[in-house]
Structure 1
Amino acid sequence: MNDLRAERLQVMLSPEELAAVDDFRFKHRMPTRAAAVRELLKFGLATLGVDAEAGVKSSSFGVLGRGPEGHTQRDPESGNETDP
């Protein structure tokens, strides 16, 4: 397990909040709800001027990369983006 993600956070959401997270996730082709929530938290903190990057992006840990139209699939062996 990555030391940067050693803490677990449980969050209760209303059906409307969960739908908003899922809509964001699918629109940006993110692999998991957790990745979508991390990205949304990062965006929210950034609007307050808080740097939550710590030099690491969520896309660095998955098989998806961020392209101009959202997240795109990456080849796990080469790390290059591929057409979905």
Structure 2
Amino acid sequence: MAGIPAKRTEKLQLMLDDDELAAIDDWRFENRLPTRAAAMRELIRLGLTAHVGETYAERRTADFRIVAPDA
């Protein structure tokens, strides 16, 4: 049916360190999103629509950080 959102049936587990979680929470509050989950969905949407122009084939999981380790 048009206008009715699809039911969310999949859960994802994501491990974050304290700095990464703080960055997401700060972004959430600055942008007045109602929940952390809503913020994560919006950040994913923004990331999926961004044109990055980078290849990822040679990168490891540890290379994908939300904030720099020395920040």
Q: TM-score normalized by structure 1? A: 0.51
| Structure 1 ranges of 4+ moved more than 4 A | none
After TM superposition, give the deviation of residue 3 of structure 1 in Å.
Answer: 4.1
RMSD across aligned positions (CA): 1.8
Corresponding residue of 1:23: 26
Unaligned runs of 5+ in 1: 50-84
From 36, 47, 51, give the equivalent of 2:50: 47
Q: Which has the higher contact order (CA 8 A, sep 6+)?
A: 2
Structure 1 position 10, deviation (Å): 1.1
Give, in angstroms, the shift of residue 5 of structure 1: 1.1
The residue correspondences of 1:1-84 to structure 2 (distance < 5 A) are: 3-48=6-51
Larger fraction in strand:
1
Aligned length: 48
Structure 2 alignment gaps of length 5 or more: 53-71
Query: Rg: which structure is higher?
Result: 2
Seq. identity, %: 54
